[in-house]
């Protein structure tokens, strides 16, 4: 992003091109909303049909406007959009927002028109939002630049949440629901077809806004993985959570996404890995998105870790919250004796002073007993946030309870959330105490813990990332690796042969089997004897992919004689299998024993960029799909967590009497592959190290076979 979006979100003047005097029409609404929500800058309606609209002078063309125009809202039919944009350029308008549909989403003609608009944006420097979008809102300054029915509500709630949506209709309906839940926003933008400005540009801007504490997004796809990584890192640094509802998880969902928008939907597993890597909160529903935003808005301090304290008036509710907390990978710390004793003093014997703490319905009838429990839990250093579940406590007891919670929330730097599992008609007054006191509540215990848990996980992840200022273990990549590797790529075909692939990996310091290509019996013997028996022979041919089938593979060769005869046999087998194949020789290769097979892979995700994969070999990958993914760059700690995260990790760690394998050496390979991927992103499309043989701890790893595929430059 090179443009400063300040004039987009805070324009000093706005022209509405195609403004209508019918304030109920789509082309009339933006004008009305600007007026009604209190826009303070200059407004210029543009429409040759009118001289004035509602007392404002209406211009025939934007070129007739006397003063400068920061932003234009383009409310004309799609066929008229391009000439209007050209006038905007001439006028020196900084940003234009196009509402009309009829572009890339509508077939070939619309697509062509959209391409032209994109070119105009690039050439002129005019920043364009849309087309096919529903506009922008800046509630900090009362600027409502769109036509959504959600803007009919008065007043719209201002608050600390920034919001970007790739769907106009669904996006602004989420906004409406959020507003009815009390969530206030700083900026909102609907990005439509993203011909120029896209979601990440807006997210990046919002993250930096000092009055914005959190950003939420509805996403179908993204355009720039590096930018996403950069802004997510920045959000971690600033301690501002990003929560995203990214649809298209399922295959069927992905199909619909591709037919719905112009942008590609990336493989969802990569997105998921990326979100976890960057601490981005992934919402599964619009409700999750609204809940976590509502909670973030209500708390003054983010939780500082994953230790959850649970207080409830009903044992069952405590179990329900504990179940959900465990699913969310939160910690439910055991309480120390002091905390337990303090609690036991005030609760009845059939309550529980374990975490979850069950105060029962009785404790709240006694003056400050409930407050004492709150205080004891908040004082406990292992507890970073509280979920308080209250069941059917109505009347004065419930009122006092709500007041106690509000009081403690006001003085504690640990956040809390309430689940009051009873309805408005009975609990209305108590719930009002909470909302007036700025304490977020839900009816559902699970929603309460889910929202709090999302923030806790973000914070825990943030702490972890900030702790790692430098990678604790240098990858040990040879100097000039990138040059050496590029030179190899320059001399090879689209797919590297096994031997070329290994030379390529060696350039980044990745250990491979000792081997060389022989073009004669004598050479094979010389190479073989310098490596030492046992050996493997493999045909070296760019045209023979299935070596076993071709008879081009001999394993376990244990003597000079065997080697000589195997050499001849491999060649003659392959010549008769594929008479036209180019044969470069026979690969004479060390046979490594005692290793466990793992797989290291690299793929270029079309949206998120180079992605490193790790898995255990054999059935683990083939049948169980037991792999872990990270978007590059991957540092040593990332790599270790990739290894630990697969289900079969215990096989490597030495479970049940197995030898512990050299997982640190695997981590080194993953880091090196990641560095290689970053260096050569434009040159390599895929890499499969399969298998990487892992030896017992301290003895390293060894690439036994590798496939490198270069990027297609067609």
| Closer of 247 and 570 to a second copy (Cβ) | 247
Residue 244 CB, nearest approach to a second copy (Å) = 13
| Closer of 145 and 356 to a second copy (Cβ) | 356
- Single out the segment in contact with a second copy by CB under 8 A; choices: 36-44, 59-67, 102-110, 512-520: 102-110
| Closer of 394 and 641 to a second copy (Cβ) | 394
Other C-beta atoms closer than 10 Å to the C-beta of 407 total 13
Which residues, 40 to 99, sit near a second copy by CB under 8 A?
none
- Single out the segment in contact with a second copy by CB under 8 A; choices: 145-153, 203-211, 462-470, 661-669: 145-153
The tokens describing 494, both together, are 């689209």
Q: How far apart are CA 660 and CA 654, in angstroms?
A: 4
Those residues with Cβ within 8 angstroms of residue 420's Cβ, 6 or more apart along the chain or in another chain: 389, 390, 427, 430, 431, 434, 441, 442, 443
Q: How far apart are CA 455 and CA 148, in angstroms?
A: 30
Q: Does 251 engage in binding with a second copy (CB under 8 A)?
A: yes
Binding-site member from 13, 87, 138, 148 for a second copy (CB under 8 A): 148
The tokens describing 76, both together, are 């004309």
166, 261 contact by CB (below 8 A): yes
Closest CA to 212 of 234, 180, 181: 234
Those residues with Cβ within 8 angstroms of residue 43's Cβ, 6 or more apart along the chain or in another chain: 13, 14, 15, 16, 31, 34, 35, 56
Residue 438 CB, nearest approach to a second copy (Å) = 21
Which residues, 204 to 223, sit near a second copy by CB under 8 A?
218, 220
- Single out the segment in contact with a second copy by CB under 8 A; choices: 69-77, 203-211, 391-399, 532-540: 391-399
- Single out the segment in contact with a second copy by CB under 8 A; choices: 229-237, 316-324, 571-579, 636-644: 316-324
Binding-site member from 249, 473, 514, 526 for a second copy (CB under 8 A): 249
Residue 653 CB, nearest approach to a second copy (Å) = 10
Q: How far apart are CA 207 and CA 164, in angstroms?
A: 11
Angle between helices 225-238 and 445-467 in degrees, nearest 10: 100
Which residues, 653 to 672, sit near a second copy by CB under 8 A?
655-656
Closest CA to 45 of 87, 72, 17: 17
User: DSSP 3-state assignment of 443?
Assistant: coil
Angle between helices 315-327 and 445-467 in degrees, nearest 10: 40
Residue 358 CB, nearest approach to a second copy (Å) = 7
Sign of CA dihedral 41, 201, 453, 236: negative
Q: Does 326 engage in binding with a second copy (CB under 8 A)?
A: yes
Residue 477 CB, nearest approach to a second copy (Å) = 33
Residue 73 CB, nearest approach to a second copy (Å) = 18
Residue 136 CB, nearest approach to a second copy (Å) = 16
Q: How far apart are CA 181 and CA 200, in angstroms?
A: 26
| Closer of 172 and 274 to a second copy (Cβ) | 172
Binding-site member from 647, 659, 698, 699 for a second copy (CB under 8 A): 647
Which residues, 496 to 515, sit near a second copy by CB under 8 A?
none
| Closer of 165 and 541 to a second copy (Cβ) | 165
39: left (phi over 0), alpha (psi -120 to 50) or beta: beta
Those residues with Cβ within 8 angstroms of residue 354's Cβ, 6 or more apart along the chain or in another chain: 334, 335, 340
Cα-trace Rg, the chain: 32
Q: Does 382 engage in binding with a second copy (CB under 8 A)?
A: no
Angle between helices 424-436 and 395-411 in degrees, nearest 10: 20
Closest CA to 78 of 50, 56, 36, 106: 106
Which residues, 286 to 305, sit near a second copy by CB under 8 A?
286-287
Q: CA angle 236-240-242, nearest 5°?
A: 85
- Single out the segment in contact with a second copy by CB under 8 A; choices: 44-52, 196-204, 283-291, 473-481: 283-291
Binding-site member from 166, 339, 611, 628 for a second copy (CB under 8 A): 166
143-146 and 135-138 as β-strands: parallel, antiparallel, unpaired? Answer: antiparallel
Residue 686 CB, nearest approach to a second copy (Å) = 21
**Three-class secondary structure assignment of 605-635:** ECCCEEEEEEEECCHHHHCCCCEEEEECCCC
Which element (helix H / strand E) includes 216? strand 214-219
The torsion defined by the Cα of 655, 656, 662 and 667, in degrees rounded to 10, comes to: -20
| Closer of 55 and 350 to a second copy (Cβ) | 350
Q: Does 411 engage in binding with a second copy (CB under 8 A)?
A: no
Q: Does 713 engage in binding with a second copy (CB under 8 A)?
A: no
Which residues, 330 to 359, sit near a second copy by CB under 8 A?
332, 349-350, 352, 354, 356, 358
Q: Does 546 engage in binding with a second copy (CB under 8 A)?
A: no
| Closer of 145 and 648 to a second copy (Cβ) | 648
Q: How far apart are CA 418 and CA 446, in angstroms?
A: 11
Which element (helix H / strand E) includes 448? helix 445-467
| Closer of 61 and 394 to a second copy (Cβ) | 394
Binding-site member from 12, 239, 253, 511 for a second copy (CB under 8 A): 253
Which residues, 433 to 472, sit near a second copy by CB under 8 A?
443-447
Which residues, 226 to 245, sit near a second copy by CB under 8 A?
245
- Single out the segment in contact with a second copy by CB under 8 A; choices: 11-19, 143-151, 573-581, 700-708: 143-151
| Closer of 312 and 541 to a second copy (Cβ) | 312
Q: Does 482 engage in binding with a second copy (CB under 8 A)?
A: no
- Single out the segment in contact with a second copy by CB under 8 A; choices: 55-63, 255-263, 545-553, 566-574: 255-263
- Single out the segment in contact with a second copy by CB under 8 A; choices: 250-258, 637-645, 666-674, 679-687: 250-258
Please count the residues of this chain forming the interface with a second copy, following the rule CB under 8 A: 89
Q: Does 112 engage in binding with a second copy (CB under 8 A)?
A: no
Q: Does 115 engage in binding with a second copy (CB under 8 A)?
A: no
- Single out the segment in contact with a second copy by CB under 8 A; choices: 14-22, 122-130, 209-217, 424-432: 424-432
189, 164 contact by CB (below 8 A): yes
Other C-beta atoms closer than 10 Å to the C-beta of 321 total 26
| Closer of 58 and 643 to a second copy (Cβ) | 643
Which residues, 605 to 624, sit near a second copy by CB under 8 A?
619, 622-624
| Closer of 127 and 266 to a second copy (Cβ) | 266
Q: Does 174 engage in binding with a second copy (CB under 8 A)?
A: yes
Which residues, 555 to 594, sit near a second copy by CB under 8 A?
none
Residue 249 CB, nearest approach to a second copy (Å) = 4
Binding-site member from 2, 259, 469, 548 for a second copy (CB under 8 A): 259
Cα 466 versus chain centre, distance? 18
Cα–Cα separations (whole angstroms), residue 56 to 28, 44, 49: 13, 7, 14
């Amino acid at each position: 992003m090179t443009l400063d979006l300040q004039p987009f979100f805070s324009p000093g003047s706005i022209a509405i091109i195609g403004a209508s005097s019918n304030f109920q029409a789509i082309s009339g609404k933006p004008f009305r909303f600007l007026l009604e929500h209190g826009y303070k800058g200059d407004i210029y309606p543009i429409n040759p049909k009118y001289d004035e609209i509602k007392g404002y002078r209406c211009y025939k063309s934007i070129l007739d406007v006397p003063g400068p125009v920061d932003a234009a809202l383009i409310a004309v039919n799609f066929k008229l959009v391009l000439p209007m944009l050209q006038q905007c350029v001439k006028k020196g308008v900084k940003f234009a927002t196009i509402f009309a549909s009829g572009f890339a989403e509508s077939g070939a003609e619309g697509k062509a028109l959209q391409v032209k608009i994109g070119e105009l944006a690039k050439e002129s420097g005019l920043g364009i939002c849309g087309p096919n979008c529903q506009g922008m809102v800046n509630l900090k300054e009362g600027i409502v630049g769109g036509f959504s029915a959600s803007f009919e509500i008065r007043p719209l709630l201002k608050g600390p949440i920034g919001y970007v949506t790739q769907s106009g209709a669904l996006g602004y309906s989420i906004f409406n629901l959020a507003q009815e839940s009390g969530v206030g926003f700083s900026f909102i933008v609907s990005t439509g077809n993203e011909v120029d400005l896209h979601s990440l540009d807006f997210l990046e801007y919002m993250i930096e806004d000092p009055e914005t504490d959190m950003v939420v997004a509805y996403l179908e796809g993204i355009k720039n993985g590096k930018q996403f990584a950069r802004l997510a890192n920045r959000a971690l640094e600033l301690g501002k959570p990003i929560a995203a509802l990214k649809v298209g998880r399922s295959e069927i969902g992905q199909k619909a996404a591709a037919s719905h928008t112009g942008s590609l939907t990336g493989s969802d597993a990569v997105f998921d890995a990326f979100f976890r890597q960057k601490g981005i909160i992934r919402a599964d529903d619009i409700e999750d998105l609204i809940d976590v935003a509502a909670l973030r808005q209500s708390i003054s301090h983010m939780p500082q870790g994953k230790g959850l304290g649970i207080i409830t008036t009903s044992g069952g509710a405590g179990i329900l919250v504990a179940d959900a907390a465990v699913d969310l990978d939160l910690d439910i710390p055991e309480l120390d004796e002091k905390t337990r004793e303090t609690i036991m003093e005030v609760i009845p014997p059939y309550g529980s002073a374990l975490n979850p703490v069950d105060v029962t319905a009785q404790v709240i009838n006694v003056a400050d007993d409930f407050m004492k429990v709150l205080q004891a839990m908040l004082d406990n250093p292992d507890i970073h946030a509280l979920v308080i579940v209250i069941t059917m406590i109505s009347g004065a007891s419930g009122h006092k309870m709500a007041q106690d919670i509000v009081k403690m929330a006001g003085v504690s730097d640990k956040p809390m959330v309430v689940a009051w599992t009873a309805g408005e008609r009975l609990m209305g007054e108590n719930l009002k105490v909470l909302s007036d006191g700025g304490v977020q509540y839900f009816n559902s215990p699970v929603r309460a813990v889910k929202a709090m848990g999302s923030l806790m996980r973000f914070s825990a992840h943030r702490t972890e990332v900030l702790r790692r200022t430098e990678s604790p273990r240098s990858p040990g990549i040879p100097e000039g690796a990138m040059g050496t590797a590029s030179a190899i790529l320059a001399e090879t075909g689209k797919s590297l042969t096994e031997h070329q692939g290994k030379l390529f990996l060696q350039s980044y310091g990745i250990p491979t089997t000792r081997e060389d290509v022989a073009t004669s019996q004598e050479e094979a013997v010389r190479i073989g004897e310098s490596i030492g028996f046992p050996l493997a022979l493999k045909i070296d041919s760019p045209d023979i992919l299935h070596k076993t089938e071709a008879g081009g593979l001999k394993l376990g060769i244990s003597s000079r004689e065997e080697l000589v005869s195997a050499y001849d046999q491999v060649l003659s087998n392959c010549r008769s299998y594929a008479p036209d194949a180019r044969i470069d020789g026979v690969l004479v290769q060390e046979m490594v024993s005692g290793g466990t097979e793992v797989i290291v892979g690299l793929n270029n995700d079309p949206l998120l960029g180079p992605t490193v994969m790790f898995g255990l070999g054999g059935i683990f990958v083939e049948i169980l799909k037991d792999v872990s993914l990270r978007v590059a760059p991957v540092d040593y700690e990332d790599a270790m967590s990739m290894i630990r995260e697969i289900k079969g990790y215990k096989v490597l760690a030495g479970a049940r009497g197995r030898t512990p394998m050299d997982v640190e050496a695997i981590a080194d390979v993953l880091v090196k592959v990641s560095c290689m991927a970053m260096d050569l992103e434009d040159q390599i499309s895929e890499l499969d190290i399969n298998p990487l043989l892992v030896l017992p701890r301290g003895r390293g790893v060894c690439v036994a076979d590798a496939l490198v595929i270069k990027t297609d430059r067609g």
